[in-house]
């Protein structure tokens, strides 16, 4: 499907969708447990992939309107009857690949074309260091993967600058091993707040971890057991970033986002980025409400070393702000569902933005940019689609964003919310 977004203003109040990152981890943690209730989960294409994986390992997931009832496999995953298809969810594949290393047999994991192009090699090597079997069928470090165990635990050395999800996967599975797992980082950890999210969820499920000088440790023989048998998912700041961008660019009478409570999410940095750019924005942390209004913004330098998912949002804001916005430390953003650095450079340039793309830097000259509506490729990437739709609100004329069905990955009702807030949106089948 495609959507046409015409220049328009927005306003009102909108509830933040639940966090995709927390939902993934909570579903798998409940799978590692005897069972648990996961309240206020994000039910999306990606998190459904994690639900299917838990079921493949012997658990079950029952969906209700506002919660999931998970019957776990209690730390002893079955060998799946069939291949685990992770679809487009890189988080699912990495987290449940480590789960496969706990099984007494072989598990095959695969995904769609995009997922089969993403790097898994460091995680496979880590499982190999633990004396598990971990292979890429094409011997290129990419899915399909064949993984088996059971591993007992031990020490692994792994790079920290490819994906923090490797660390998450090893911590979550390591708590179930007999000996525990110590993770030594060979390079500086990128996207570190996502490991903080993992540690926060593990703590809520009664699992203890420890940060050490050059990595992390998790003791073995632990049990997943959340207090009261349930866990509640917080709002998602990656998704909130698009709502705040709408407000700062196109809400003259203001826009309020509810459900925005403080947590370990690194992407809450979007609040600081907008405030540094001069946005009229206030955050009542206790009430979980952020209010933002259309503002005169000025470009700044932003590192996305720890917040890769914010790059598309910041690029759009920078294209409208005065002066220059420089996004640095962004090489790892090229290894997402698509090369998001190149995708945003290409699409915003087509809309009239002045952009310089380097390997680890994206520079947007907002003062030299006048956005005009055109047709842009969503790259089958939810974050590209949503950010370009925000750009369409402030571009002259109409912007057609292609392939919008992929927002189901993280924010299934995005276009419904945009319409409800007053955006001029028309959706059609391609």
Beta carbons of 294 and 245 less than 8 angstroms apart = no
Q: Is the pLDDT of residue 182 over 80?
A: yes
Can you read off the two tokens belonging to residue 203?
């703590």
Task: Please tell me whether residues 178 and 254 are part of one structural domain.
Answer: no
For 283-305, write each residue's pLDDT tens digit: 999 999 999 999 999 999 999 99
Q: Is the pLDDT of residue 396 over 90?
A: yes
CA distances from 338 to 117, 135, 315, 424 (A): 10, 24, 16, 27
Mean pLDDT calculated for residue range 78-101 = 97
Give the residue from 191, 208, 232 where a domain finishes.
232
Specify which residues 356 forms β-bridges with. 363
Task: Please tell me whether residues 196 and 312 are part of one structural domain.
Answer: no
Q: Is the pLDDT of residue 429 over 70?
A: no
Task: Please tell me whether residues 83 and 201 are part of one structural domain.
Answer: yes
Task: Please tell me whether residues 203 and 324 are part of one structural domain.
Answer: no
Question: Per the annotation, where are the binding residues?
Answer: 20-21, 25, 90, 118, 163-165, 191, 309, 336, 340, 383
The pLDDT of residue 262: 92
**Catalytic residue of the set 40, 267, 306, 309:** 309
Question: Helices then strands (H, E): number in the chain?
Answer: 12, 24
Say how far apart CA 323 and CA 366 lie, in whole Å: 5
The pLDDT of residue 428: 79
Give the residue from 217, 232, 247 where a domain finishes.
232
Give the residue from 213, 232, 251 where a domain finishes.
232
Task: Please tell me whether residues 7 and 26 are part of one structural domain.
Answer: no
Task: Please tell me whether residues 191 and 222 are part of one structural domain.
Answer: yes
Number of domains in the chain: 2
DSSP H or E segment with residue 243:
helix 237-250
The pLDDT of residue 251: 98
Task: Please tell me whether residues 199 and 88 are part of one structural domain.
Answer: yes
The pLDDT of residue 105: 97
CA distances from 262 to 26, 235, 259, 290 (A): 18, 9, 10, 11
For 28-53, write each residue's pLDDT tens digit: 999 999 999 999 999 999 999 999 99
Token match 């994986």: residue?
53
Catalytic status, residue 309: yes
Task: Please tell me whether residues 240 and 228 are part of one structural domain.
Answer: no
Task: Please tell me whether residues 266 and 295 are part of one structural domain.
Answer: yes
Question: Per the annotation, where are the binding residues for 3-phosphoshikimate?
Answer: 20-21, 25, 163-165, 191, 309, 336
On average, the pLDDT of the chain sits at 97
Query: Domain containing 274 — which CATH number?
Result: 3.65.10.10
Mean pLDDT calculated for residue range 136-151 = 97
Question: Per the annotation, where are the binding residues for phosphoenolpyruvate?
Answer: 20, 90, 118, 165, 340, 383
Report phi then psi at 106, rounded to 5. Answer: -110, 140
Q: Which domain holds residue 393?
A: 2-17+235-428
Task: Please tell me whether residues 174 and 262 are part of one structural domain.
Answer: no
Beta carbons of 326 and 363 less than 8 angstroms apart = yes
């Amino acid at each position: 499907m495609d959507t046409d977004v015409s220049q328009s203003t927005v306003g009102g109040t909108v509830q933040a969708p639940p966090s995709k990152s927390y939902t993934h981890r909570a579903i798998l943690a409940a799978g590692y447990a005897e069972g648990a209730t996961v309240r206020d989960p994000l039910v999306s294409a990606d998190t459904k992939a994690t639900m299917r994986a838990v079921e493949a390992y012997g658990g079950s997931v029952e969906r209700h309107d506002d919660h999931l009832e998970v019957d776990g496999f209690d730390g002893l995953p079955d060998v799946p009857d069939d291949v685990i298809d992770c679809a487009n969810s890189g988080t699912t594949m990495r987290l449940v690949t480590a789960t496969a290393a706990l099984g007494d047999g072989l598990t095959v994991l695969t995904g769609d074309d995009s997922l089969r192009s993403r790097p898994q090699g460091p995680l496979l090597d880590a499982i190999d260091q633990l004396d598990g079997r971990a292979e890429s069928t094409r011997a290129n470090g990419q899915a399909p993967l064949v993984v088996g165990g059971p591993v007992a635990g031990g020490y692994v050395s792994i790079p920290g600058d490819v994906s923090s999800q490797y660390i998450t996967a090893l911590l979550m599975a390591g708590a179930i091993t007999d000996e525990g797992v110590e993770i030594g980082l060979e390079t500086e950890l990128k996207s570190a707040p996502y490991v903080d999210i993992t540690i926060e969820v593990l703590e809520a499920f009664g699992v203890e971890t420890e940060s050490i000088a050059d990595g992390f440790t998790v003791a073995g023989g632990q049990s997943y057991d959340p207090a009261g048998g349930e866990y509640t998912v917080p709002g998602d700041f990656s998704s909130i970033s698009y709502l705040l961008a709408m407000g700062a660019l196109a809400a003259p009478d203001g826009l309020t986002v509810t459900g925005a409570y403080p947590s370990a999410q690194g992407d809450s940095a979007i609040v600081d980025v907008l405030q540094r750019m001069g946005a009229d924005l206030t955050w009542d942390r206790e009430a979980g409400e952020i209010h933002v209004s259309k503002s005169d913004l000025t470009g700044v330098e932003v590192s996305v070393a720890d917040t890769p998912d914010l790059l598309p949002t910041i690029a759009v804001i920078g294209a409208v702000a005065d002066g220059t916005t420089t996004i640095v430390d962004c090489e790892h953003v090229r290894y997402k569902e698509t090369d998001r650095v190149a995708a945003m450079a290409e699409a915003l340039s087509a809309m009239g933005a002045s952009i310089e793309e380097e390997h680890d830097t994206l520079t947007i000259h907002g003062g030299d940019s006048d956005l005009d509506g055109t047709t842009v490729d969503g790259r089958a990437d939810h974050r590209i689609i949503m950010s370009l739709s925000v750009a369409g609100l402030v571009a002259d004329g109409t912007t057609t964003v292609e392939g919008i069905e992929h927002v189901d990955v993280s924010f299934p009702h995005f276009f419904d919310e945009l319409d409800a807030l007053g955006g001029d949106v028309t959706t059609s089948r391609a």
